[in-house]
């Protein structure tokens, strides 16, 4: 659906992005993250045709964003961080205006507007002047314009910025529904929201892609087996005593027993040291059957900090 190949944007000697490539498949919801100045917004602007690349190509549904700009843009709905609204218009007036811009057939326009208003939950705002709407409702009207014409791809840059917790939850539900009919690229500084709605994440830092996968697989690749949760059959005191005899285990703690006669323990070693084999040897030697063993997952924030070198500011 979306293919980005060897994309570069250079301003003089400065590279905003440098030779990045990725794809997004049909029906995916992908989180696109990066520290301030990493090149994330530049990439989104190139993908939507707002600015040109120095080198590289972007195709949307097989259509080049430069060579066939109008056709490609018909497949894209874009919600920037500041929605492109005309505040003096009423909601319906604005949506009719957008529908005309996007060349929606008059015979399809009314039904499409009604369907979109129902999806983003602004049906009762139809006759309200946009400037009198709350921040949350203005954001929804901005999303409605992005959906007009039923584009195959919807790109959203900070769709929940400035919203209160209730509005964030409502927007999350809308984004999840969009993923059933559209391919969605979502940029947000609220990493918990990205984790909740996205199938996978792409993280960019200093103009380069530094990670691209599901949160679970990124966590596994970064922990390298050095932090594990283990369910063992046996007595707690004896299991902890056995672990204490293995210097490779730097920390371990009982976190309860969730099955009769078992103990759940978290165990960690030095970073980049795989402790799984040592756990097996320890338990086998002491006749404690292992019933379950899994990596302790990193949060998306922890993954972000690791792959970007600890840069906390997210653009």
- For the stretch 15-27, pLDDT in tens is 999 999 999 999 8
Q: What band does 204 get if pLDDT is binned at 50, 70 and 90?
A: very high
Q: How many other C-beta atoms lie within 10 A of the C-beta of residue 212?
A: 18
The pLDDT of residue 37 is 86
The pLDDT of residue 312 is 46
**DSSP calls for 188-248:** -S-HHHHHHH-SEEEEEETTEEEEEE-HHHHHHHHHTTSEEEEEEES-HHHHHHHHHT-TT
The pLDDT of residue 161 is 79
Q: What is the mean pLDDT of residues 121-127?
A: 93
Whether the pLDDT of residue 208 is over 80: the answer is yes
Residue pLDDT, tens place only, 236-265 = 999 999 999 999 998 899 988 788 999 999
Q: What is the mean pLDDT of residues 217-246?
A: 85
Mean pLDDT (the chain, rounded): 90
Q: Which one, of 76, 182, 92, lies nearest residue 130 by Cα?
A: 92
| Overall residue count recorded for the chain in this entry | 315
Torsion over CA of 41, 47, 48 and 50, rounded to 10 degrees? 70
Q: Is 289 exposed, middle or buried (0-12, 13-18, 19+ CB in 10 A)?
A: exposed
Q: Which of 85-89, 206-210, 307-311 has the lowest mean pLDDT?
A: 307-311
User: Is residue 268 within 8 Å of residue 223, measured between CB atoms?
Assistant: no
Q: Which one, of 246, 286, 288, 294, lies nearest residue 270 by Cα?
A: 246
Q: What band does 89 get if pLDDT is binned at 50, 70 and 90?
A: very high
Whether the pLDDT of residue 219 is over 80: the answer is no
Q: Where are the beta strands (DSSP E) in 27-116?
A: 29-33, 55-60, 63-64, 76-79
């Amino acid at each position: 659906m979306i293919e980005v190949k060897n994309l570069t944007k250079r301003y003089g000697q400065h590279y905003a992005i440098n030779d990045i490539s990725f794809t997004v498949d049909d029906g995916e919801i992908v989180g696109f993250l990066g520290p301030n100045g990493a090149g994330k917004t530049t990439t989104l602007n190139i993908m939507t045709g707002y600015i040109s690349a120095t080198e590289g190509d972007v195709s949307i549904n097989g259509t080049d964003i430069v060579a066939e700009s109008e056709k490609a843009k018909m497949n894209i709905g874009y919600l920037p961080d500041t929605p492109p609204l005309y505040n003096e218009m009423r909601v319906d007036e604005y949506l009719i205006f957008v529908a005309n811009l996007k060349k929606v057939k008059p015979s399809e326009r009314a039904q499409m507007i009604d369907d979109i208003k129902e999806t983003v939950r602004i049906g009762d705002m139809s006759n309200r002047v946009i400037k009198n709407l709350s921040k949350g409702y203005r954001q929804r009207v901005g999303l409605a314009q992005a959906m007009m014409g039923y584009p195959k791809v919807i790109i959203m840059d900070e769709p929940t910025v400035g919203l209160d917790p209730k509005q964030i939850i409502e927007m999350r539900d809308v984004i999840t529904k969009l993923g059933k009919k559209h391919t969605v690229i979502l940029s947000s500084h609220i990493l918990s929201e990205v984790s909740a709605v996205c199938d996978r994440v792409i993280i960019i830092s200093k103009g380069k892609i530094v990670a691209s996968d599901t949160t679970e697989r990124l966590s596994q690749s970064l922990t390298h087996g050095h932090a594990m949760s283990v369910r063992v059959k046996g007595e707690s005191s004896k299991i902890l005593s056995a672990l204490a005899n293995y210097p490779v285990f730097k920390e371990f703690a009982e976190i309860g027993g969730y099955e009769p006669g078992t103990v759940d323990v978290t165990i960690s070693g030095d970073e980049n040291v795989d402790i799984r084999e040592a756990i097996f040897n320890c338990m086998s030697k002491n006749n404690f059957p292992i019933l379950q063993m899994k990596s302790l997952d990193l949060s998306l924030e922890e993954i972000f900090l690791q792959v970007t070198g600890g840069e906390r500011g997210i653009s």
